[in-house]
């Protein structure tokens, strides 16, 4: 004992540290925060979905986790991160798409103003992010003559064909 008192470094290591019982951290608050973040991200994804419609080619799915069940903290974090990644990716895709659509809109205006400079060019509704089958097509007026004389115009299609076609054969008249 006397030796320990003379060497202060040993005195520290020999001191007894009370052992505390293990305490499980309360994850409830963290899970609650994560669930709120998931709700916010879902809201933003929903708004983006409506903005992106009717454009196709987006992936909205985030893998399920075998629910309905109470997700652990790690699972909620993964879900939050995947939703955030999906949102960011789709925002970028939509941004790129709308940039091209804007260029196409401008090109339609140019086609209408100077059709002879955009010969045979076709721009469809889907190229400008709109639903339907409308298209702008630069074609020569009066066919071959227009091509020879450089008479060009923009022809706008009349929309989608009817779902039912032109109808069946006429019914026989009742006798």
Partner 1 sequence: MIETPEIEEGWVAHDLAAEFPELRILHTAVEARSGRSPEAVRRRLRNLADRYTGGKAVTLRQQPVPWAYRVFFRQVGIDPDERRTPPEEIALERMRAGGFPSRNLLDDAILIATVETSVPLVAFDDEKLEGPLGLRLSEPGERLGGDGRPLSSRQVVIADAERSVGVLFADLAEGRGVHPRTRRIRIASIQVKGVPDVSVEEALWIIAEVLQGDAGAGAAPAGNAP
- Residue 71 in the binding site for partner 1 (CB under 8 A): yes
Question: What's the residue count for the chain?
Answer: 175
- Residue 61 in the binding site for partner 1 (CB under 8 A): yes
Look at the block and give the residue holding tokens 């939509």. 94
Cβ-based nearer residue to partner 1, 75 or 126:
75
Residue from 16, 69, 171, 175 touching partner 1 (CB under 8 A): that is: 69
- Residue 87 in the binding site for partner 1 (CB under 8 A): no
Ordered strands of the 135-140 beta sheet: 122-124, 135-140, 152-156
Cβ-based nearer residue to partner 1, 87 or 123:
87
Helix pair angle (73-113, 28-52), 10° resolution: 20
Q: At a CB cut-off of 8 Å and minimum separation 6, what does 129 contact?
A: 54, 55, 97, 98, 101
**Nearest distance, CB of residue 15 and partner 1, angstroms:** 41
- Residue 95 in the binding site for partner 1 (CB under 8 A): no
Binding-site size, partner 1 (CB under 8 A):
28
The SS3 call for residue 140 is: strand
The distance of Cα 108 from the centroid of its chain, to the nearest Å, equals 26
Interface residue list for partner 1 (CB under 8 A): 28, 31, 35, 38-39, 42-43, 46-47, 49-50, 53, 60-71, 75-76, 79, 83
């Amino acid at each position: 004992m006397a030796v320990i008192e003379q060497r202060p470094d040993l005195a520290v290591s020999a001191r007894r540290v009370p052992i505390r019982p293990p305490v499980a951290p309360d994850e409830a608050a963290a899970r609650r925060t994560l669930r709120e973040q998931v709700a916010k991200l879902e809201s933003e994804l929903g708004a983006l979905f409506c903005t992106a419609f009717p454009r196709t080619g987006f992936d909205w799915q985030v893998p399920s986790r075998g629910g309905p069940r109470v997700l652990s903290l790690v699972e909620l974090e993964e879900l939050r991160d995947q939703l955030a990644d999906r949102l960011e990716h789709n925002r970028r895709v939509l941004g790129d798409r709308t940039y091209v659509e804007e260029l196409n809109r401008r090109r339609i205006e140019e086609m209408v103003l100077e059709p002879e400079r955009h010969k045979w060019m076709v721009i469809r509704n889907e190229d400008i992010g709109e639903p339907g089958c409308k298209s702008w097509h630069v074609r020569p007026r009066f066919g071959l003559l227009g091509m020879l004389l450089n008479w060009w115009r923009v022809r706008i299609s009349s929309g989608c064909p009817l779902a039912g076609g032109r109808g069946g054969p006429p019914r026989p008249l009742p006798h």
